[in-house]
Amino acid sequence: AQSVAQPEDQVNVAEGNPLTVKCTYSVSGNPYLFWYVQYPNRGLQFLLKYITGDNLVKGSYGFEAEFNKSQTSFHLKKPSALVSDSALYFCAVRLPYTGGFKTIFGAGTRLFVKA
Amino acid sequence: EAGVAQSPRYKIIEKRQSVAFWCNPISGHATLYWYQQILGQGPKLLIQFQNNGVVDDSQLPKDRFSAERLKGVDSTLKIQPAKLEDSAVYLCAIPSGTGVTYEQYFGPGTRLTVT
């Protein structure tokens, strides 16, 4: 079955330290991969995406993600975490189905950045 | 959140009652999605519209859920009758552009609590 996994329910980091939020996927073909962030009482916001080309993609708020085809991973990273980065992060994959394309989301990882 | 308005923001009802949610994309777009996000889970697609027509409603509990999109713009999602397990945030989304590689813009969501 095609799926997206976020193995960590929660990630805790200290402000100023690097952060990584993990995502692995299981899909056939070449995936389109996305990261979204959800702040309290707000809808999901797009952070970045991998479509093709350079494996390292850069997005909003200083975030970046690395596509690794051999490990079927798309981990989200930031060199220096901010308290304001504390939020819920979702990895998603866009894949084809009979009617067109659909997006499957991971279960989410809650990031806590401590001052 | 830019580009997608939803109402109401919060709703509390008793089980077996009916409820309706509204989605108003500020800029018209052919494609519109409704997602259900249960606490602790990622968003799950309920229904996808292309203009007024339904593209995918495979995960919509059709015995109680219904949705429509009038004139290819606004959309409503209805639950009748509601069950306790319907407690969730209901998100409306539109693509940022045409084509499969585009990310989605999400509305702020309607938080439904069924007691």
What chain B residue is nearest to A103 in terms of C-alpha separation? Answer: B45
- The structure tokens listed for B110 are 């309607």
% of chain B surpassing 70 pLDDT? 98
CB contact under 8 A, A42 and B40: no
Q: State the pLDDT at residue A40.
A: 82
Residue A37 has pLDDT above 60, yes or no: yes
Q: State the pLDDT at residue A43.
A: 81
**pLDDT (tens digit, 9 = 90+) per residue, B42-59?**
999 999 998 889 989 999
Query: Could you please report the per-residue DSSP string of A42-76?
Result: S-EEEEEEE-SS-SEEE-GGG-EEEEETTTTEEEE
- Indicate the range of A78-87, B6-15, B46-55, B93-102 predicted with least confidence: B93-102
Mean of pLDDT over chain A: 93
Nearest to B55 among A43, A49, A100 (CB): A100
Q: Which residues of B touch A99 (CB under 8 A)?
A: 48, 55-56
The arithmetic mean of pLDDT across residues B72-80, rounded, is: 93
Residue A114 has pLDDT above 60, yes or no: yes
CB contact under 8 A, B56 and A107: no
Residue A19 has pLDDT above 60, yes or no: yes
Mean of pLDDT over chain B: 92
What chain B residue is nearest to A9 in terms of C-alpha separation? Answer: B40
* pLDDT level of residue A99 (50, 70, 90 thresholds): low
Residue A24 has pLDDT above 70, yes or no: yes
The arithmetic mean of pLDDT across residues B18-45, rounded, is: 91
Residue A23 has pLDDT above 60, yes or no: yes
* Burial class of residue B105 (count of CB atoms within 10 Å of its CB; 0-12, 13-18, 19+): buried
Residue A73 has pLDDT above 60, yes or no: yes
* pLDDT level of residue B1 (50, 70, 90 thresholds): very low
**pLDDT (tens digit, 9 = 90+) per residue, A1-15?**
788 999 999 999 999
Q: Which residues of B touch A36 (CB under 8 A)?
A: 103, 106
DSSP structure class, residue A40: T
